[in-house]
Amino acid sequence: MDNLVPDQLWGLIIKELRMRLLVFLTLLVSISTAVNAGEKQYVVYEGKEGPGVGKHIVLISGDDEYRSEEAMPMMGQILARHHGFKCTVLFPVNQETGEIEPTYQTNIPGMENLKTADLVILFTRFRALPDKDMKYFDDYLKSGKPIIGLRTSTHAFNFPKNSDTSYAHYGWNNSNTEWPGGFGKEVFGETWYTHHGKHKFESTRGIVEQTNADHPILNGVEDLWGPTDVYGVRELPADSKVLVRGQVLTGMNPDDPPVEGQKNEPMMPIAWTRDYETSSGKTSRIFCTTFCSSIDLENEDLRRMLVNASFWCLGMEKKIPEQANVAIVGEYDPSFYGFGDFKKGLKPSDFAW
């Protein structure tokens, strides 16, 4: 460069600086894009005031039919806004599009959040997650921390027969000696069995079990109805405490009369608690309900039962109000349940506050 005149030299310097600046800016954009993509994989609602401050609830959605991807953000917002919990909501996400896709059964980003969770609310169906994600769930279960299971969580996992997973025993139809009936049967007390009410024709009236009517989970819970049918339950473990039974109605309206005969004699359990002893010797508080499609949760007392159950599972039953605030935050327009009827094109960020 010794023979270059000053103007030529400065020109080369400026050109080099521009190229380096362009590389730097490109790198910044790439980092920003990666960070933003990561942030959009799940949503966090920070509670600021209430008895739940300091407690972390992780709500896991991922079912094909009952619109858990709509229900879980709504419940997370209620628990955060009205009761102070930090709520992280996870979704089934298509890895190629970044969109919420309930039929995409192998990817629920954010499972690492279970490392700091105090409570898990599970609403999944037939998931086949990779081992690295299942380990987060398995570690959480062994910790003895509580779990709430909604509707299809009795059959939360399903691994193909040729799968090399270490968690095949979690599968809903597992027939091996370890956990026959899979995770649902082992932890909640039942796996998928049958529709007891006629699907999409006979709705459910929740009838409080009078012997347990004073349970704190039932504080302020009187009117339970939903258009989702009653699931069949064969025999719950002896340590289960039934809180609500499902009365099969003749139609899809709350004032329809009950079906006569064996469908209601006796009525099936649809909400119960139990203490589950984990393989580590620790005991988890468990609440399970086969209610809770997204449209069922338009029912105020059903939302209240879930809020109360969250308090109870966390050992905070003395802080359960007589009439917990379960007002919906913002708008909630749930889809009617059905396969393939999910709202297309949504990303987790669409549910952010």
User: What's the pLDDT at 25?
Assistant: 56
Q: Can you give the pTM of this predicted structure?
A: 0.89
Note the pLDDT of residue 164: 93
Query: For position 334, what pLDDT does the model report?
Result: 97
Residue spans of beta strands (DSSP E) within 27-173 = 42-45, 56-62, 86-90, 119-124, 147-150
> β-strand 56-62 against 147-150: which pairing, if any?
unpaired
Written out in words, the top-level CATH class of the domain with range 40-332+344-351 is alpha beta
pLDDT of the chain along its 353 residues, tens only?
455 555 666 666 666 667 676 655 555 544 444 444 455 699 999 999 999 999 999 999 999 999 999 999 999 999 999 999 999 999 999 999 999 999 999 999 999 999 999 999 999 999 999 999 999 999 999 999 999 999 999 999 999 988 999 999 999 999 888 899 999 999 999 999 999 999 999 999 999 999 999 999 999 999 999 999 999 999 999 999 999 999 999 999 999 999 999 999 999 999 999 999 999 999 999 999 999 999 999 999 999 999 999 999 999 999 999 999 999 999 999 999 999 889 999 999 999 99
Checking 256-259 for CB contacts under 8 A at 24+ apart, the result is 256/203, 258/205, 259/197, 259/202
- Looking from the CA of 294 toward its CB, the CA atoms found within 13 Å total 26
- The answer to whether the CB of 334 falls within 8 A of the CB of 298 is yes
Domain boundaries, the chain: 1-39, 40-332+344-351
Q: What pLDDT is recorded for position 176?
A: 84
